Amino acid sequence: MNEAERLLDSFLTNISEHRRLSENTVKAYASDLADYQRWANAHGVDSIRPSHQQLRQYLSSLHHARYARTTIARRFSAVRSFFKFLQLENVIRENPAEIMNTPKLSKVLPKTVPSDALTVLLSVFDDSTILGSRNAAIIELLYATGIRVSELTGLNVADVDLKEGYIRVLGKGSRERIVPFHQYAGLRISHYLQFSRPRLLKQNLTQALFLSKRGNRLSSNSVRVCMQTAFRQCANIAGITPHVIRHTFATHLLSNGADLRTIQELLGHVALSTTQIYTHVGRKRLKEVHNTSHPRA
């Protein structure tokens, strides 16, 4: 193991064990930094001690490769964090990426699904089949709680309290939170637990809530594939992902009077500013209230 590989391994251990970032986030850092290392090796650049000019060349290579601005910003953020770690460890004196600007990201409003369309989506699943029951429970729980797909697949049976209507979620940074769900989700989950899960479990002893056809913990990618396959049957409904349902959850709560602080807590956002992107959907509601309430409207 050379110096660069050893330091990268130390960095990944640090963000996993000390910063307590999720496994998926650590994998994303590893992938982005591996891309930087490959570029540095291919261009004869010391990946640990590059110059500002060399880092600008790396950014330029990403632009020329036509990566999305979000991808470029994420990759460079990983590189900047890596150099910050090296600086704190006294491996380098200065962080060569600290004064460099990353691409400005346009503010894209989150895509959402109308509530009546969600009813149509849920009608696609046949509750009398093993996978239909499971998939219906997944969609209903995603919409009922707004949890991330990684949080959903990380749930164990013991994390679900059907009687009280709560789930215990382990979110980003290993932060635990309690999220309520409504009776419709409770009925779907109860049916899945009684009908589908025992048949999927087979000889396995896993405590995972949602299982694959092989009886293993369902992966995040499998959830996305299941949704894509099922929703092809719905006319005029496309591009519905677990994250779109998360956006929809927050949007519908805000539209119906929930405050941002509550939505922040339910979503597991550390900063309120992250939640504020959903305020755009409240404009229509504000206009309606203004039109019906103002004497001059």
Which residue numbers are catalytic? 148, 172, 243, 246, 269, 278
Buried-exposed string 186-211: b where 16+ CB fall within 10 A, e elsewhere: bebbebbbeebbeebeeeeeeebbbb
**For residue 186, what is the DSSP state?**
H
Contact 47, 4 (CB under 8 A): yes
User: Angle at CA 91, nearest 5°, toward 86 and 97?
Assistant: 45
Q: Which long-range contacts (CB under 8 A, 24 or more apart) does 97-101 make?
A: 97/55, 99/52, 100/52, 100/55, 100/56, 100/59, 100/76
**Closest alpha carbon to 187 in 158, 246, 144:** 144
Rounded CA gap, 221 and 208, in Å? 16
Rounded CA gap, 54 and 176, in Å? 41
Strand order across the beta sheet in which 160-161 lies:
160-161, 166-170, 176-180
**Closest alpha carbon to 105 in 71, 81, 78, 65:** 71
Rounded CA gap, 18 and 155, in Å? 23
Q: Where does the chain have alpha helices with state H?
A: 3-17, 23-42, 52-64, 69-88, 115-123, 130-145, 149-153, 183-191, 197-201, 220-231, 242-255, 260-267, 272-275, 282-293
Three-state DSSP at 178 gives strand
